């Protein structure tokens, strides 16, 4: 088997709308909006720098089937730059950009190949003076919802040639992703590939070493659910068919979720300073990239009561945001969630014979009884149905969301009752 080097990327989601970002300042909003395209530029630069033999993209190049012309032209330019360097690109369509989606009539370089959706295509990668270095097998999604096990259609080709499979799939039923083209890890192993270039799951993971079964994750985080470095794998295949993988970050806007304890913070000034220190640390972690962070404040402190009065926390966040807009590389605060509590010992109150103690004991039973919590939420939140600020059914939220609300309610009621009375009695 001949040695080779390639890049494996997936889930580009070009021109993602980044929902909920409309209220951002123009400069921040534009940097976020351009981030998927900037990550694509980084991908092309890496391919040139590393002189790879080819680039694999395992589905969801675009964010929606009705893909924007802007996204298509930007992608066309990217693969043209690769073609100029003699780097072919092999691409499959996924559930976000299926073959039946609206596509512009563009001219693509000869070295760019989009795999068909009606069968598994097999292409030979031929290099001058090296001959056939790989056989690439791939199949696209014809429509957005593919429920068939496509892995069963893959068959190994020439024994002494590296065999690579491109598939957009949910392996072993990952519950956090739509169960499209479902298959098992054993299905992939049985197909006889040397490397499985997968897409669909946005968190990178190596599911198996030999054969390598790999999700590279998406190239750019798009929400608070996609924190940390995002990018692609640079893959070297040795003469035994074993893959060596090196992850390369491509993201230009990085998402963070951070927790800050207020247990040793007695004043607004110290809180402001600690938040500033946190943003500076994230700026270093992002390594000159822009960042977006959700901060959770937790712990017990006298600052708790000050944060609950008026708009103190919102005003503090607004001031910190204003400072960030002026920086060359910003760390934008998406939100600050207040999970702090007063210095009241709720564990001790839980043992008291008091109205508050009874409430806390009832809340504790709800935390461990999902069915009872759901019934309680249906009754307690019924009055919110139909209000414009509560679209949908608040009580139909996830159990974890309901438990979070219940914890917040415990803190709020403890604050109110210990301020107005309600102790032991």
Question: For residue 307, what is the enclosing H or E element?
Answer: helix 303-307
pLDDT for residue 424? 45
**Residue 233's pLDDT band (boundaries 50, 70, 90)?**
very high
Whole-number mean pLDDT of the chain? 91
pLDDT for residue 395? 59
Could you tell me the domains of the chain? 4-249 (3.60.21.10), 255-343 (no CATH), 345-425 (no CATH)
**Residue 330's pLDDT band (boundaries 50, 70, 90)?**
very high
Lowest-confidence region among 51-65, 236-250, 334-348: 334-348
Question: Which of the two residues, 376 and 417, has the higher pLDDT score?
Answer: 376
% of the chain residues with pLDDT over 70: 93
CA–CA separation, 333 and 313 (whole Å) = 12
pLDDT for residue 323? 92
Average pLDDT value for residue range 179-194: 96
% of the chain residues with pLDDT over 90: 70
pLDDT for residue 190? 97
Kindly report, residue by residue over 29-59, the tens digit of the pLDDT. Answer: 999 999 999 999 999 999 999 999 999 999 9
Question: Which of the two residues, 361 and 157, has the higher pLDDT score?
Answer: 157
Does the pLDDT value for residue 87 go beyond 90? yes
Range picked from 93-107, 302-316, 384-398 for highest mean pLDDT: 93-107
Average pLDDT value for residue range 320-342: 92
CA–CA separation, 21 and 197 (whole Å) = 32
Cβ-based neighbours of 102, under 8 Å, separated by 6 or more: 65, 66, 67
Does the pLDDT value for residue 123 go beyond 50? yes
Hey, what are 213's tokens? Answer: 């079964």
Coil, strand, or helix at residue 375? helix
Average pLDDT value for residue range 160-183: 92
Does the pLDDT value for residue 423 go beyond 70? no
By the 8 A CB rule, do 120 and 138 touch? yes
Q: Give strand pairing partners of 243.
A: 237
Helical residues (DSSP H) of 238-354, grouped into ranges: 268-285, 303-307, 312-325, 346-350
């Amino acid at each position: 088997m001949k040695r080779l080097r390639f890049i494996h990327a997936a889930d580009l989601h070009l021109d993602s709308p980044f929902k909920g970002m409309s209220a951002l300042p123009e400069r921040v909003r534009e940097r976020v909006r351009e981030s998927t395209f900037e990550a694509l530029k980084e991908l092309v630069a890496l391919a040139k720098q590393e002189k790879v033999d080819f680039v694999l993209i395992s589905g969801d190049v675009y964010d929606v089937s009705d893909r924007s012309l802007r996204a298509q032209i930007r992608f066309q330019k990217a693969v043209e730059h690769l073609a100029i360097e003699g780097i072919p690109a092999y691409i499959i369509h996924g559930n976000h950009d299926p073959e039946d989606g609206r596509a512009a009539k563009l001219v693509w370089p000869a070295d760019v190949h989009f795999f068909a959706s009606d069968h598994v295509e097999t292409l030979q990668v031929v290099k001058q003076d090296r001959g056939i270095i790989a056989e690439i097998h791939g199949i696209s999604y014809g429509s957005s919802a593919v429920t068939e096990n496509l892995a069963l259609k893959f068959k190994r080709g020439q024994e002494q040639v590296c065999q690579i499979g491109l598939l957009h799939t949910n392996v072993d039923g990952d519950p956090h992703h739509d169960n499209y083209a479902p298959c098992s890890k054993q299905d992939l192993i049985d197909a006889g590939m040397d490397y499985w270039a997968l897409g669909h799951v946005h968190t990178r993971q190596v599911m198996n070493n030999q054969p390598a079964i790999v999700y590279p994750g998406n190239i750019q985080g798009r929400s608070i659910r996609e924190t940390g470095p995002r990018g692609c794998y640079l893959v070297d295949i040795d003469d035994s068919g074993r893959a060596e993988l090196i992850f390369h970050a491509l993201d230009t806007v990085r998402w963070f979720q951070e927790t800050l304890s207020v247990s040793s913070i007695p004043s607004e000034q110290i809180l402001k300073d600690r938040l500033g220190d946190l943003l500076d640390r994230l700026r270093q972690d992002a390594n000159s990239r822009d960042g977006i962070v959700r901060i959770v404040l937790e712990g017990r402190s006298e600052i708790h009561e000050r944060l609950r009065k008026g708009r103190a926390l919102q005003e503090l966040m607004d001031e910190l945001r204003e400072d960030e807009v002026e920086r060359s590389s910003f760390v934008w605060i998406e939100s600050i969630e207040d999970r702090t509590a007063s210095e009241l010992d709720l564990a001790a109150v839980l043992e008291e014979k008091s109205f508050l103690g009874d409430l806390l004991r009832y809340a504790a039973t709800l935390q461990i009884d999902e069915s009872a919590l759901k019934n309680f939420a249906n009754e307690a939140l019924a009055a919110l149905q139909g209000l414009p600020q509560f679209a949908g059914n608040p009580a139909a939220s996830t159990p974890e969301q309901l438990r979070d609300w219940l914890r917040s309610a415990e803190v709020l009621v403890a604050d109110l009752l210990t301020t107005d009375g309600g102790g032991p009695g």
